[in-house]
């Protein structure tokens, strides 16, 4: 039975979630990009070796995720901003917090724009883009305002839907696969490939959200489990999706298809009376999109609230929604949204990913905080 919402010292209301719900939330937040231009960008980056990027980038990401989890588990009940304030000082934390917030707003903005644009291009050509965006944001905001507990539970259902659908698409499109498409195995060459693996750790920037979700865990010891499971599942699903798209649209064809999974789905032909499999894809796609936006808004609001010590999570969620909507609105077209997301924001976010958690871990190793270290206990309770 869920515990009644309580108020943290920041004033942010919270419920408590188990590791499954938390992992599902991080997974949905991260993996929804599989429905968008993600496979196309992987194809551009790594050519025939595109499928390997999610796997090897996940292995590299393991380092900063391990550092983050170590710090969070050593400070139960605290989020990464609060921990940063005590370890890195308020000024650096403010800069990091705002950078993470702006990044979050931007990826929510670009993702919603990609979804709305694809929807308008393929299914609703006469519907104004702003109307699609408005409806998407309204539903997402409603969900985000429901709080972590409800959103995380919805993400469990969303995860099942997303994984089932992507696996079904892979199975049903298997007759179109050209397995030789993954050769030559090293794509652009070993050096460029390694560079791509490093830069594309940004695929998992959303996993940084664990830093804000951790205080909501019933058991703070589960933080590592949440990180490992969500990262592994994300890597597997993203790699399978890219592999599937790559074998149906061999490089270089894949490198100019902005919504590959939708295109693959439209190729599935099961028979005379069942040849519109995209009718199944679109609802799941929209569900995943709405959950991603909601998770992004919620994480953004938590980051902003903790960084600026503002107590009203509802207000901050609405502010985050408006800011993300503004980003979506001012992006001129789909191509710009994709470039902004995958070629500008994410590559630079690697500095944040590799710098912030590792800095926290390093400082926590060299500075003594006996008071905080002794506060290890049940999640959701602040260390005094």
Residues in the chain: 384
Residue 188 is a binding residue for another protein (CB under 8 A): yes
Which structure tokens are listed for 249?
A: 């649209």
Looking at the Cβ atoms of 36 and 69, the one nearer to another protein is 36
Looking at the Cβ atoms of 41 and 78, the one nearer to another protein is 41
Looking at the Cβ atoms of 184 and 377, the one nearer to another protein is 184
Residues 220, 73 contacting (CB under 8 angstroms): yes
Q: Is 7 helix (H, G, I), strand (E, B) or coil?
A: strand
Residue 176 is a binding residue for another protein (CB under 8 A): yes
Residue 266 is a binding residue for another protein (CB under 8 A): yes
Sole window of 51-59, 94-102, 181-189, 215-223 interacting with another protein (rule: CB under 8 A): 181-189
Query: DSSP code of 14?
Result: E
Q: How far is the CB of 180 from another protein (least distance, A)?
A: 4
Residue 89 is a binding residue for another protein (CB under 8 A): no
**Nearest Cα to Cα of residue 214 among 75, 310, 99, 313:** 75
Q: Is 5 helix (H, G, I), strand (E, B) or coil?
A: coil
- Give residues 313-352 in contact with another protein (rule: CB under 8 A): none
Q: Pick from 48, 86, 320, 328: which binds another protein (CB under 8 A)?
A: 48
> Treating both helix axes as pointing N-terminal to C-terminal, what angle do 19-31 and 223-248 enclose, rounded to 10 degrees?
30
Residue 1 is a binding residue for another protein (CB under 8 A): no
Residue 140 is a binding residue for another protein (CB under 8 A): no
Residue 253 is a binding residue for another protein (CB under 8 A): yes
Looking at the Cβ atoms of 49 and 58, the one nearer to another protein is 49
Helices (H), the chain: 19-31, 38-46, 52-74, 80-88, 90-122, 129-145, 148-172, 190-199, 210-213, 223-248, 260-267, 278-308, 313-330, 334-338, 346-366, 370-373
Q: How far is the CB of 20 from another protein (least distance, A)?
A: 23
At CA 193, angle to CA 187 and CA 198, rounded to 5?
A: 150
Q: How far is the CB of 22 from another protein (least distance, A)?
A: 24
Looking at the Cβ atoms of 70 and 121, the one nearer to another protein is 121
Q: How far is the CB of 375 from another protein (least distance, A)?
A: 38
Q: Pick from 18, 250, 314, 347: which binds another protein (CB under 8 A)?
A: 250
333 dihedral zone (left: phi>0; alpha: psi -120 to 50; beta): beta
Q: How far is the CB of 123 from another protein (least distance, A)?
A: 7
Q: Pick from 59, 95, 124, 315: which binds another protein (CB under 8 A)?
A: 124
Residue 384 is a binding residue for another protein (CB under 8 A): no
Q: How far is the CB of 185 from another protein (least distance, A)?
A: 7
305 vs 167: CA distance, rounded Å? 38
Q: What is the dihedral of CA 23, 29, 31, 36, to 10 degrees?
A: 170
Question: ω into residue 126 within 30 of 0, thus cis?
Answer: no
Looking at the Cβ atoms of 187 and 211, the one nearer to another protein is 187
245 vs 268: CA distance, rounded Å? 12
Q: Which residues bind another protein (CB under 8 A)?
A: 47-48, 121-127, 176, 178, 180, 183-190, 248-253, 263, 266-269, 272, 275
């Amino acid at each position: 039975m869920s515990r009644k919402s309580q108020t943290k010292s920041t004033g942010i209301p919270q419920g408590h979630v188990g590791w499954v719900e938390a992992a599902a939330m991080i997974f949905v937040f991260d993996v929804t990009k599989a429905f968008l231009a993600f496979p196309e960008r992987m194809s551009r980056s790594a050519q025939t070796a595109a499928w390997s990027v999610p796997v090897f980038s996940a292995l590299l990401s393991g380092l900063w995720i391990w550092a983050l989890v170590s710090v969070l588990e050593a400070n139960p009940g605290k989020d990464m901003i609060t921990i940063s304030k005590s370890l890195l000082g308020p000024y650096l934390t403010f800069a990091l917090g705002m950078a993470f917030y702006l990044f979050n707003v931007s990826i929510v903005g670009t993702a919603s724009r990609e979804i709305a644009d694809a929807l308008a291009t393929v299914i609703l050509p006469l519907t104004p883009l702003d109307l699609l965006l408005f409806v998407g944001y309204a539903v997402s905001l409603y969900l985000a305002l429901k709080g972590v507990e409800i959103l995380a539970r919805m993400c469990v259902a969303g995860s099942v839907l997303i994984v089932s659908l992507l696996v079904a698409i892979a199975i049903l499109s298997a007759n179109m696969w050209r397995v030789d498409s993954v050769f030559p195995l090293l794509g652009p060459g070993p050096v460029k490939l390694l560079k791509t693996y490093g830069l594309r750790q940004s695929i998992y920037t959303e996993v940084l959200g664990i830093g804000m979700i951790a205080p909501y865990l019933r058991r703070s010891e589960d933080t590592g489990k949440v990180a490992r499971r969500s990262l592994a599942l994300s890597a597997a699903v993203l790699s399978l999706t890219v592999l599937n798209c790559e074998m149906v649209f061999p490089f270089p064809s894949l490198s100019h298809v902005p919504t590959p999974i939708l295109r693959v789905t439209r190729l599935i032909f099961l028979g005379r009376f069942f040849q519109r499999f995209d009718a199944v894809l679109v609802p799941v796609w929209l569900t995943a999109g709405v959950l991603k936006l909601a998770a992004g808004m919620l994480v953004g609001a938590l980051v902003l609230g903790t960084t600026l010590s503002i107590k009203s999570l509802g207000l901050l969620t609405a502010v985050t929604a408006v800011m993300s909507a503004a980003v979506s609105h001012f992006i001129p077209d789909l191509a710009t949204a994709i470039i902004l997301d995958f070629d500008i924001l994410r590559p630079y976010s690697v500095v944040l990913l590799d710098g912030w958690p590792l800095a926290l871990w390093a400082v926590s190793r060299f500075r003594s905080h006996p008071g905080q270290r002794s506060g290890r206990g049940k999640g959701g309770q602040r260390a005094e």
